[in-house]
A and B are shown apart, each in its own frame.
Chain A
Amino acid sequence: MRKVGIIGAGLTLFRRRMLETPQELAYIAASRALDEAGLELKDIDCVVIGSAPDAFDGIHMKGEYLAKAGGERKMTSRVYVGGATGVMTAISAWYHVASGLCEKVLAIAEEKMSPARPHPQSVFKYIWDPITEKPLNPNLIWIFAMEMHRYMAKYGIKKEDIALVSVKNKRNAMNNPYAQAAANITVDDVLNSEVLVWPVNRLDVSPVSDGAAAMVLATEDIVRRYTDTPVWIEGVGWTLDNTSWPGRELAYPRYLENAARMAYKMAKIERPDKEIDVVEPYDPFDYKELHHLEGLMIAKKGEAPKLLKEGVFDIDGDIPSSPSGGLLGVGNPIAAAGLMKTISIYWQLKGTAGKMQVKKPVHTGVAQAWGDLMQAATVIVMRN
């Protein structure tokens, strides 16, 4: 396999109800990524497009629709693994280069969550087993509420311990110029916000967002030609767990442990808790960041809340977690959010994260996303 590096990335603002069309959001992110890379569209061999369900933007065959933003008259691929798509977009772009097939690849992820009315949650009405689950008319927040409750019950975790994630990430987002939900809030603000589905309150959840993210990946010699501060992709992993959610232990994200082991093996990471300097775990809900820090084996099972309280995951801590502000702080245009997390780690390792830059020197970073019926995980390891 060829060595693959990143030479450019771009984001749009993450906001609710953006005027720009999905194609235009994809274009803005893509052209910013090309600018940072110092390339033009004509230099790109292949475009990889990631988006979660078509139903969010309300346009079927959205991969082809988004191909307008650079993919026409070129080799174009679309990837889809639900909420895990954003990181998978980077992984797919990676294997287009690693395989020897392409030299320079543009990865674009876009999601516009706001067109569906009254609320994009309706889109998730169709993911349930039509015989055994649909009669209850569940929504995703229900199911996450049950997962969160199992996690709390199994390890004796309190709601206020979990709320700290929301406080941290929204605070980190204050330094992120693209962020939609940056705020200085307290644990009490989270606990006193409206209960949506117990134990999930409004401030435990990421917002509805529109946005796009893009990244340029290239072969080793091109990376060395275009930048003095290369960032390499050194490990990737993706797996599915049991595709039926009632068939899994909800308190522990085994889907992620499997994907992380694959990525760590490739990157030769033996002690993730010692070797990873900065991490962007997927955090559409606050408890999910803790869950995922455990699945990534950065914290032991049930112990992430304790380390969080000790400040380990703060921006000036030993292992800063979600220094971008994460989905809770920056926003959650699904596929774009996962690629945004990958870009956050890339900028951290490049040293160009600006006010988001973590205090300690960083060498190894990990980004992760999660989705489908809560069983798909994607992990990417980068080094400078």
Chain B
Amino acid sequence: MAWDKSAKSIQVKGEMEVYEYVYTAGKNGEEFFKALKDKKILGGRCEKCGRVFVPPKMFCEYCFGLLKLEEIKGKPIIDSFTVIYYDNDGKKLETPITVGFISFEGVEGGILAYVEGVPEIGKEVEILEYNIPLRVKVK
């Protein structure tokens, strides 16, 4: 074993590259993204057990029922949040970023969001921008 950092060893450089990946959202996923553009949150209700999921996948992970799409009318609420002070390269951010997990009354799951205002768990938010992530403001 060579531990001496000053020892001159042969070094072979390599890289692991795939040019890019192109992912699909699935059929319900496509509808979810289309609805976001119209400022609507779509969920999926399990035809077998009645659970509602956001975002909607094709199927219920509990009982394998198919999900039927429906608009979510429940209030958006901060389920949890965090404040980020450093970026992934270890550089201190000029303005800290608040990221929250937004859930909706009566549904399973939720959507990540950039949060404006003074966040608190359980507080209702107003959705300013319908996108992934959402941009929300604490009410």
Contact = CB atoms under 8 A, between A and B. Distances in A.
Residue with the greatest number of chain B CB neighbours at <10 A, chosen from A41, A42, A126: A41
Interface residues of A, number: 34
A9 B58 CA distance: 20
A108 to B, nearest CB: 12
The main secondary structure of chain B at its interface with chain A is loop
A208 B64 CA distance: 28
A20 B61 contact: no
B91 to A, nearest CB: 25
Assign chain B's interface to a size class.
Answer: 20 to 34
Contacts of B17: 122, 125
B89 interface: no
B55 to A, nearest CB: 11
Contacts of A126: 16
Contact of B23 (A40, A42, A58): A58
Interface in A103-156: 114-118, 122-123, 125-126, 130-131, 134-135
A175 interface: no
B12 A130 contact: yes
Contact of B59 (A24, A72, A115, A130): A24
B44 to A, nearest CB: 12
B7 interface: no
Which 8 interchain pairs have the tightest Cβ spacing? Answer: A58-B21, A24-B58, A21-B26, A115-B21, A27-B59, A41-B64, A122-B18, A117-B20
Interface of B: 12, 14, 16-27, 29-30, 57-59, 61-64
Given A117-B18, A122-B18, 7 more contacts: A19-B30, A20-B27, A24-B59, A42-B63, A58-B21, A116-B18, A117-B20
Interface of A: 17-21, 23-24, 27, 30-31, 34, 40-42, 55, 58, 68-70, 72-73, 114-118, 122-123, 125-126, 130-131, 134-135
